[in-house]
Chains A and B, each alone.
Chain A
Amino acid sequence: MSSSNAPDEDAMQTFLSILPLLLPITYICAGLWLSNRTMPNLNTGVSPSFPNCALKIIALCPIGLAVALLTAQAWQGTMAIELLTLTYLSVALKADLFAAVMTVLVATVGAICLLFSRRYMAGDPGQANFLKYMVQTLACVITLILSNTLFLTVLAWIAMSLSLHRLLLFYPERAAAQRAASKKYVAARIGDLCLLGAATLLAITFGTDQIDTILATAKAQESVDVATVFATLLIVAAAIMKTAQFPFNGWLIEVMETPTPVSALLHAGVVNAGGFLVIRFSDLIIQSSEAMWLLAIVGGMTAVIGSLAMVSQTSIKVGLAWSTVAQMGLMILQCGLGAFSAAALHIIAHSLYKAHAFLTAGSVIDKEKMPLRLADWRFTPTLLYSGLLLIGASLVMVLTNLFNLNLMASPGGILVMGLFVLGTMHLICAFLMLERINITAVAGVGVMLMIVSLSYGAAHEFAHKWLGVSSTSPDSVETAKYVWTLLVLFALAMVLVIQWLYALGTRPAWLRSLLIHAANGFYASAITDRLLHNRRRPTLQSFSN
């Protein structure tokens, strides 16, 4: 920050430094205001009422603050404020670029969900409580994002999962809700313990609980000691729990037991807190090859398993939940490969998409009324091969030259390019399988491919250059990482092949078995239920008594 002695500049500085504080305070106040309040029932005749207008303010005001924060950050650089300085128990906020972008994201998704709930939950006696828990959850997420001390981070982390727990049990009488919540509760407590352990280790090792100081020190170090490695592993473990990585994903796919806006908020704003944590501590984590490997392995596995499970789900919301699992797996894998900027992009893009997807889950029948359905696939091989290879290859060339993504420079780069090739090939194949293709359709799909390629490249370029998230330098990467990346890409390509075989009507017995296991999420959730005794009741010695 520039230093100046002019009094108005000082005042400006003071204002800017309290700016990060305003966001959590707004949410906390909103939460307090909503306590013990009943929302007027929109269906039973009330004139324009104060609580309803206030809800709009509660939802929209944080967006304004977050945008202000982002603007100020872009203009003045990182802002920080210390509120309480105690040994290991300090409270301080800091808004760097990535944190500021994340606050805009969370405030926006939060606002959409809150405003959606205004009519959606109208008439529910618990509407005010529902909104309160949502606002509380948002307060915790925002605090976590802006926190600059270990103490505050742990606090926000735990509080977030506790307020989320109340949302998951919004209809406490539902047995399935209790089961999901119990799984979530266990996963969250393990995550809490991990984070608490990590924070303690880091505080003791580095002698401070200021996150930016710890990261700066770590960055300057040549090598890291065992305690730090252990701490990074614990952070990663906490992130794995929070982002519902396989096999700890049971709770996430079963939270449809609570109203839709909760799912939207959870999948778009809360589940990726783990990813945020990893990115926040990336300077520390990249120093520990063990932690990076843990991320890469768990993330890669989850991405593959999640992908397969996602396409075998028969209900819209569970399908979307599995899609989140797969996407979070990919994001964690990107972290493990050192592609933190790609992971950051993934968090933001996925949040926006998934919030929309959940809120519009009721439109699936409307969409079904369109004349063509996914079942109408045909195979036209010559077109397929030529089109596939030609267009796929040319796209990669164009993209690489346009955005200079250093194709072979890092495993993360390979993953990004590989996913692009697989995705666009799938699009082209689907198109080529259609029975009637006319020239207008070809032009249309060409434009579509162009838009997809350009925006893919642009998004990554944006994330790389402008999100303020650093990725690892290529020279620090082991060869095994390349192998692992290629293995994961191969497995993902196999998942695509499975979809192809299936679409073309080739369904051998092994494929059917695989799909049955995949639809069950490879029993991770059932095994967790068994371990937690979720499916048991007290027995009667003799029921005739």
Chain B
Amino acid sequence: MQETKIIPIADGQTADREQNTFDAWSEISIAASKVAPVWPLQNFVAVNPYFGLTGNRWIEAAAELSVTAKASSSMTPDFYKKQLETGEMTVADIEEALESLGSQMNPSDLLNALDKNENEPTALPLMSDLYCRHSGVEASEIILEQMSKWCAEYFDQGQAVVTGTSERDELFTSWLEHQKIDMTLPVLGLADFHEILSELANNPQHACKKMLFNLGLDREIVPLYLHRLARSVGGWIAYARYLDWGAQLENRSSNIAATLLTVRLAYDWYCFNSQAKIMGPEILRQNFRWQYPLTATTEPSPLIYLQEAYENAVRRKTLSLFRETPKPSHAYRKDLQAAFCIDVRSEVYRRSLESQSSGIETIGFAGFFGLATDVRHFGDTRQNAHCPVLLKPGYQAQEVPVFAEAQKAADTQSAVVANWFSFRVFKSSAVSSFAFVEALGLSYLVRTITDALRMTRPAGLANARGMIGRESADDVRYELTAADGSSLSLEQKVELASSILAGMGLEKDFARLVFLVGHGSTSVNNPHAAGLDCGACGGNSGAPNAQLTADLLNRADVRHGLEQRGLYIPSDSWFVAALHDTTTDKLSFLSTELVPDDHRVELDTARRHFDAATALTQAERIKRLNIIGTKTLEAELRARSRDWSEVRPEWGLAGCKAFVAAPRSHSSYTSLDGQAFLHSYEYENDSDFKTLELIMTAPMIVASWINLQYFGSTVDNAVFGSGNKTLHNVVGKLGVLEGNGGDLRVGLPMQSLHDGKNWMHDPVKLSVIIRAPTSAMNDVINKHGMVRDLADNGWLHLYAMSDLGAISHQYTGGGHWIDLGKRDTSKARTVA
């Protein structure tokens, strides 16, 4: 046991002198960075909940999370038993998993171990837990509530009209001042809270040094303890991580997450000091210390082996869908091309569209079409990044109405907004709401009935934004400028156009009509609506990106510039922007009045093809959304998208399990059931493998994040998910609480994953299949740590596709690949 000197807490000076053994602040920063960020609801995009831990093998991360976050990384025993019964998973799969993870157990031992009921993870204790055990006051829960309440006030984005704190103040100082006034903790029985708190310095870095020193923990257990501490308010730390993330994109230094963890440490430090007064600090330290393991990883729970076995089984099934296919006949000019987002929901639509005619070709590309731009909506001062959150927008797009003259529209809108604002203030302020209720409360009878009958929406359509006279999404255009608002030179535009086309792999054989299809969703009364929108557009609709890209590629001067670079777009090729509504599977064309007259016939034909594809896609949905009633399919889907009581408007990306980067002809022959991200990629045209690098560092990582978000929310919804949607309570206009209080919730709600009877998502990690030489992929893996972590540590499974389209190699980590063609013969026996 390490010798620790008891320092009277008032004596900060002494403490400062004696604690130069390690850097407390960097320990805090490291612990905070183990928590994945969470984006606010307005831009609710998928984040890998294990981000920050991907440097570890997933089994090690699972073990660490089980003691720090009380998180399970596998399903319940019943789930696996059911998989065995239905034959989804076999005993051979379990044998394989045990072997690959180096366990000596045999499958029957493993299955017997399931019945012992020792699979519930238990978290390591905090000082507040010890305080509770000794004093009987539920300190951990009270601290969580108190801290969550304070965080909500500090980070509030405008829910409260008045608050006692503000994000403009320095976080730690603001917290200290607030807590010295707030009486909740003393009232609830933590009587000496204010007294002990007065010992703390205003500077978080000094404070954390002093506090960690007072606690007197062994250096070995500090990281684990701080990680555990961070997870005890994981939701708010995640939000702080998001703020730090934004600062980092702008090259500002920011340590909100670390400061917030210092705040949590201060509560724990208080519990220690308060309890130490009674039992003496040394006994308390001893009591605390012996509960922490010296080595974090323990034997994985039997469920982890089963999870591995289950994943093997599901993956085998996914991989078996791919086979060698003859190279498609020589490329010729198609009648119609359509580029879709790689989103798994596009796969169904693309398949349906392709089945309409052999002259239709579809392309898969990230739904922001390579145009990372901020979009400024008409009349709005805020801007919205329409690009993956990994990127910083390089452009700015201003929305312009075309339904009316711009100045007139602006006047009308500012009047509408001014009235709407005054009315909101009247309605929601203290005191004036009394008069509001007596004057207008009765009118809510009508409002409630029309809302219930789906005749009106509780809030106006988000994209209408108070624009009177606007009828459809088609009523606006976007003007593209550089990020600072200056106009783009022709050279810059040509450069942008050329990079977009190269990324899409669309550099020759342009059809007469090329559709650029963005996607968005429609739901009502749904705080998580942005989560159903296009993730590649930062949780927004992809329509602006599609419109901007089409406008850019239709410009004669840009085409001329491209031609000079050797990229020839025939003058009779026209790009049309379109929006795929993933809730109703309707597809609407945007800016069609710009289409040249001699393309009208093709446009009508295309409309028919798209309508037919919509009908097919909707029909395929019956499998997942069980349609009730006598209404037609279309009417039912429409109703769902407008129902204020609907908690499952669509299944989003549930079921996603594969990412394929290959020519479409190597996946178009089979139904991937809306479970695969499809990126078009032909390495033959990618001479320096720049596009491959882009694919593996951006779309592949995004797909893996989405997949792991669904994975985490499924295996442990309490930790990585946001719980029951019917209890959701939007806090600070930025996130949800489940019920009254508690931590800020991250991840997906249960209702997005489970239909009340069955899981709609299979919790398996992503299989990435890329048709490219393994050496080229190794180069990318070696160059990018983020990719290496995911591939080497089992967060995704990487496969190479042969030139003919069969799955040929499996990546086993460290740059090694095994040839599946050779292995299959020896394995076939075992599996059978």
List A residues at the B interface (Cβ < 8 Å): 41-49, 52, 108, 112, 115-125, 171, 174-177, 180, 254, 256-260, 303, 307-308, 310-319, 323, 326-327, 330, 342, 345-346, 348-353, 355-356, 359-375, 416, 419-420, 422-424, 426-428, 430-431, 434, 436-438, 440-441, 444-445, 448, 452-453, 455-456, 459-460, 492-493, 495-496, 498-499, 502-503, 507, 512-517, 519-520, 523, 526-527, 529-530, 535-540, 543-544
Contacts and interface: CB of A to CB of B under 8 A. Distances in A.
A31 to B, nearest CB: 21
Contacts of B412: 440
Interface string B452-493: 100001111011011000000000000000000000000000
- The 8 closest A-B CB pairs, nearest first, are A123-B756, A349-B441, A423-B435, A45-B626, A360-B458, A307-B430, A366-B459, A516-B164
Contacts of B466: 370-371
A366 B135 CA distance: 45
B130 interface: yes
B442 A312 contact: no
Nearest to A45: B626
Interface in B59-86: none
Nearest to B441: A349
B448 A535 contact: no
B729 A47 contact: no
A361 B182 CA distance: 28
Given A355-B448, A366-B462, A515 B164 contact: yes
B120 interface: no
17 contacts: A44-B626, A46-B626, A47-B628, A174-B739, A176-B742, A315-B737, A316-B731, A326-B430, A345-B438, A369-B463, A371-B380, A371-B382, A374-B161, A448-B422, A519-B160, A535-B141, A539-B134
B176 interface: no
A529 B741 CA distance: 15
A357 to B, nearest CB: 8
A543 B757 contact: no
Nearest to B187: A526
Contact of A431 (B422, B439, B440, B645): B422
Nearest to B439: A456
A367 B381 CA distance: 16
B733 A364 contact: yes
Contacts of A352: 441-442, 444-445, 448
B465 A307 contact: no
B671 interface: no
B440 A176 contact: no
Contacts of B588: none
A368 B733 contact: yes
B426 A427 contact: yes
A537 B138 contact: yes
A369 B520 CA distance: 15
Interface stretch (B89-97, B314-322, B521-529, B784-792): B521-529
A373 B525 contact: no
Given A314-B159, A368-B158, A519 B465 contact: no
Nearest to A260: B726
Contacts of A327: 433-434, 437
Nearest to A427: B426
Interface string B148-170: 01001100111111111110000
B758 A44 contact: yes
Contact of A423 (B436, B530, B646, B726): B436
A311 B437 contact: no
Given A44-B758, A373-B158, A374-B161, A360 B136 contact: no
A312 B164 contact: yes
B42 A365 contact: yes
B194 interface: no
A242 to B, nearest CB: 19
B669 interface: no
A318 B740 contact: yes
A426 B424 CA distance: 11
Interface stretch (B25-33, B212-220, B413-421, B689-697): B413-421
Nearest to A41: B756
A125 B433 CA distance: 38
B176 to A, nearest CB: 13
Nearest to B44: A365
Contacts of A125: 756
Interface string B176-203: 0010011110011100000000000000
B443 A455 contact: yes
Given A125-B756, A176-B740, A311-B160, A499 B430 contact: yes
Contacts of B429: 311, 426, 430, 496, 499
B647 interface: yes
Given A257-B740, A422-B431, 7 more contacts: A44-B755, A124-B756, A259-B724, A349-B440, A362-B730, A423-B434, A540-B134
Contacts of B380: 371
Contact of B159 (A123, A319, A353, A526): A319
Given A48-B630, A314-B160, A441 B437 contact: no
B678 interface: no
B612 interface: no
A365 B163 CA distance: 20
B248 interface: no
B434 A436 contact: no
Contacts of A46: 626, 628
A116 B163 contact: no
B41 interface: yes
B726 to A, nearest CB: 4
Contacts of B596: none
A43 B645 contact: no
B424 A256 contact: no
Contact of B439 (A348, A359, A438, A455): A455
Contacts of B121: none
A520 B435 CA distance: 25
A523 B647 contact: no
Contacts of B647: 119-120, 122
A88 B646 CA distance: 49
A436 B756 contact: no
B539 to A, nearest CB: 11
Interface centre among B381, B416, B444 (most CB of A within 10 A): B444
Interface in B513-539: 524-527, 529-530
Given A316-B730, A360-B458, A431-B418, A119 B136 contact: no
Contacts of A256: 727, 729, 739-740
Given A423-B435, A520-B183, A523-B187, A356 B448 contact: yes
A350 B445 CA distance: 11
B599 to A, nearest CB: 35
Contacts of B458: 356, 359-360, 363, 366
A256 to B, nearest CB: 5
Nearest to A436: B414
A459 B442 CA distance: 8
B451 interface: yes
Contacts of B727: 171, 256-260
Contact of B162 (A312, A362, A419): A312
Given A355-B448, A371-B380, A537-B136, A312 B181 contact: no
B430 A496 contact: yes
B243 interface: no
A106 B182 CA distance: 40
B328 interface: no
B596 to A, nearest CB: 35
Contact of A363 (B130, B134, B459): B459
Interface string B529-569: 11000000000000000000000000000000000000000
B138 A438 contact: no
Nearest to B732: A314
A314 B731 contact: yes
B524 A452 contact: no
A176 B739 contact: yes
Contacts of A365: 41-42, 527, 529-530, 730, 733
Contacts of B459: 360, 363, 366-367
